[in-house]
Amino acid sequence: MLPNTLGLPDFPWDKLAPAKAQASAHPGGICDLSVGTPVDPTPRLIQEALKEASDAPGYPTVIGTQEVRDAIRAWGSRRNMVDVGDKGVVPTIGSKEAVAWIPLLLGVRPGQTVLVPHVAYPTYDVGARLAGATPVPVDPTRPDTWPDATLVYLNSPGNPDGHVLSIEELRAAVDWARARGAVIVSDECYAALPWAEPYVTEGVPSVLDRRVCGEDPSGIIVLYSLSKQSNLAGYRAALMYGDPALIGAVVEVRKHAGMMVPAPVQRALTVALGDEAHVAEQYRLYARRREVLKEAVVSAGLLVDEASAAGLYLWVSRPRVEEPSDLAAFSASGRLDATTRGSGGEGEGDSWALVELFARAGILVAPGAFYGEAARDHVRIALTATDERIDAAAARIMELGAEFFRA
C-alpha cells in the first residue's frame, strides 16, 4: 500500500468517538448535534422526480441536461447573481467533492499558496493539499492582510461560525483577487438559512451579486449544495456557477475523470431548484429548532456568537475562566481519555472540555479545534436533529444549568 504522501491531516471526526460513546450511555439516549446532516424527509415532489427519471440506461453528460442548466441559471438570477450563460454552470456530485478538488481541477500546483478562512470547514485545507499547494489561514474580512496567493476560498455563510460577508467585504475580496490574478472560490451552501437582518429581508449576498462584481464574473466560482435547503445530502446534488472560462476548464477535467451527476439526480436537482415552497418549510423547521436550542444554551450561561447570522449551527463558547476545575476530575473518571482532546494548547483544550461536558449530558457537539486555531474556544451545535431530540437536548441543558457548564 502506498503511504499518504499528500500531507493530509487525520480525519477529525474519528476523535469524537469517545465523546460519542459517553453521550450514548445517557439514560435518555444520545442527542447527536455534532454533524450537519439533514434528518427530515426529502420533499415528496423531489422523490417523485427521481423516480420518474429512474429509467436511465445511458451515460449522463458532465455539463448536465439543458433543463438543469436552465434551473441553475434561474436560481442564480433569483439571488441577483450575474448571468454566466450555459457555459458558466455545471452540476456536481455534492459540494464537498467540488470544494476538495477544485484547486487541482483549476491547475493549482505544488509551491503555490491557497488562502482559507481562519475559522473553516476542514475540506478547504484538504483541497489545497490535494493539489500539493500550501494552505494559509486568513481573516476573510481583511484582504489587506492577505499574502499573495493563487486561489482564495471564501465561505459565507460560514461553517461553523455562521458569519456572513457583507457586500463591502465581498467586494474588497474580489478587488484584491483581481489585482493579483487570483481565483476566488466561494462556498455559499448555507445561503438559504439567514437568521438576522438585513439577510432575512434582503437575502445573503453572493460574491457574484451584481453589487459585488458588477456584470463581470471573471475569476470567480460559486459552489452551492441542495443538501441543506432541500434535504438532498443523500442525493449528492450540487452545482458550480461562475466564470465560463474557469467552468470550462473544470468541465474538461471532469469529462476525463468521469465526474458525472447521475441522470435521475439531475432531474431531482432541476425540480428542487424550481420549487421554493419546500425551502421555506425547511427554513421554518430549522428556525424553531434554533430558537429552542439557543434559549437553552443562553439559560445555561453559555455564549452564542452574536455575529452568527446564518447557517445550520450555533457557535457557542463559555465565558472565559482561569481553569475548568471539573475537567481534571471528569478525565480522571476514565469516561474520556484526556489525550483525546488533542495537544493544540489551552484554547483547544477548552473546546474539548466543553465537548466533554455536553457528552455528560448525553449531547454530542463538535469541538472548535476541528475548524482551526482561531476556533479553539468554541463548539459547534448543529440544528440537524429531529424536533424530539432537539427538545430533549434543550431540556437537559436547562436542567443542568449554568453551574454545570461553568465547571
**337: its cell numbers:** 481519555
pLDDT of residue 15: 87
β-pairing verdict for 313-317 and 378-382: antiparallel
Cα 240 to chain centroid, rounded = 15
Q: Which helix (H) or strand (E) holds 50?
A: helix 44-52
How many residues appear in the chain? 407
118 sits in the region (left: phi over 0; alpha: psi -120 to 50; else beta) called alpha
Asked if 273 contacts 226 with a C-beta cutoff of 8 angstroms, the reply is: yes
Q: How far apart are CA 165 and CA 155, in angstroms?
A: 8
**How many other CB atoms are found less than 10 A from the CB of residue 41?**
9
Residue 324, CA distances (Å) to 23, 329, 352, 371 in order: 20, 10, 11, 22
Would you give per-residue pLDDT tens digits along the chain (407 residues)? 555 556 676 777 788 999 999 999 999 999 999 988 999 999 999 999 999 999 999 999 999 999 999 999 999 999 999 999 999 999 999 999 999 999 999 999 999 999 999 999 999 999 999 999 999 999 999 999 999 999 999 999 999 999 999 999 999 999 999 999 999 999 999 999 999 999 999 999 999 999 999 999 999 999 999 999 999 999 999 999 999 999 999 999 999 999 999 999 999 999 999 999 999 999 999 999 999 999 999 999 999 998 999 999 999 998 875 444 444 433 333 333 333 333 333 334 488 999 999 999 999 999 999 998 888 899 999 999 999 999 999 999 999 887 888 76
Asked if 247 contacts 228 with a C-beta cutoff of 8 angstroms, the reply is: no
pLDDT of residue 3: 56
Residue 364, CA distances (Å) to 237, 346, 355 in order: 27, 21, 7
Q: How far apart are CA 266 and CA 260, in angstroms?
A: 10
pLDDT of residue 14: 82
* Domains parsed from the chain with CATH numbers: 12-41+279-406 (3.90.1150.10), 45-274 (3.40.640.10)
Residue type for position 269:
L
Q: For residue 317, report the phi and psi dihedrals to the nearest 5 degrees.
A: -140, 170
Give all strands (DSSP E) within 133-276, no chain letters.
Answer: 134-138, 151-155, 183-187, 220-225, 237-242
Strand-pair partners of 117: 138
Cα 138 to chain centroid, rounded = 17
Residue 31, CA distances (Å) to 41, 179, 267, 388 in order: 19, 48, 34, 9
Helix, coil or strand: residue 245: helix
β-pairing verdict for 363-364 and 89-93: unpaired
**342: its cell numbers:** 488533542
Asked if 113 contacts 149 with a C-beta cutoff of 8 angstroms, the reply is: yes
Q: What pTM, to 2 d.p., does this model score?
A: 0.89
- DSSP per residue over 291-314, as a string? HHHHHHHHHTT-EE-TT--BSSEE
Nearest in space to 286 (alpha carbons), one of 161, 195, 407? 195
pLDDT of residue 5: 55
pLDDT of residue 345: 33
